[in-house]
């Protein structure tokens, strides 16, 4: 069926873990576009940033090669623009341990199997932050390294991940 989503990998966090790697050993390189669905990505510690890195050969790339740009829609005030260059990670924002606090996001991944292009993604997310303020975020990021990527690595600025569902799909042609 053209345009069908094929589940490649899923990680469900039900007890605290230091990190989650999606893809890597389960990576299926036969797709041009991948979709990642993140639900209830939340920390053990209160008021910490939720981060992500791309994996190369199964290892999170911590070099300063992440560029991003986002428009952040805030429920309690006006929108803001945010952009970063040469960062060593992608920041989803600060989240906490209160009821329903966490990150929910959809990422579309492009060029992940291409060895001569940058991997990049579009991101749409909602975050109920550690101040119980709802933010919507839309934009994307580029990993400015010309090599194939094979997954995503999620972690917190400090402490462990308390919960989350991380699903990786290939978009069939």
Buried b (16+ CB within 10 A) or exposed e, 105-125: bebebbbbbeeeebbbbebeb
All structural domains of the chain with their residue ranges: 5-171
Q: What pLDDT score was predicted for residue 41?
A: 95
Closest CA to 155 of 66, 33, 22, 4: 22
Low-confidence stretches of the chain (pLDDT < 50) are 1
Which pLDDT score, from 0 to 100, does residue 3 have? 61
pLDDT at 39: 96
The CATH number assigned to the domain with range 5-171 reads 2.60.120
Question: How far, in Å, CA of 125 to CA of 123, rounded?
Answer: 6
């Amino acid at each position: 069926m053209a345009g069908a989503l094929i589940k490649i990998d899923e990680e469900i966090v039900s007890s605290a873990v230091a990190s989650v790697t999606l893809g890597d050993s389960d990576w299926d390189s036969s797709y041009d576009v991948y979709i990642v669905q993140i639900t209830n990505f939340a920390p053990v510690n209160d008021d910490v940033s939720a981060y992500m890195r791309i994996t190369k050969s199964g290892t999170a790339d911590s070099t300063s090669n992440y560029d991003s740009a986002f428009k952040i829609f805030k429920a309690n005030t006006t929108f803001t623009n945010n952009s970063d260059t040469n960062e060593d990670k992608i920041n989803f924002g600060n989240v906490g341990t209160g009821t329903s606090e966490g990150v929910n996001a959809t990422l579309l991944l492009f060029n992940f199997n291409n060895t001569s292009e940058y991997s990049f993604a579009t991101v749409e997310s909602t975050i109920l932050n550690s101040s119980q303020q709802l933010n919507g975020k839309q934009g994307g990021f580029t990993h400015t390294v010309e090599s194939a990527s094979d997954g995503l690595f999620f972690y917190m600025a400090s402490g462990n991940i308390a919960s989350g569902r991380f699903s990786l799909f290939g978009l069939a042609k």
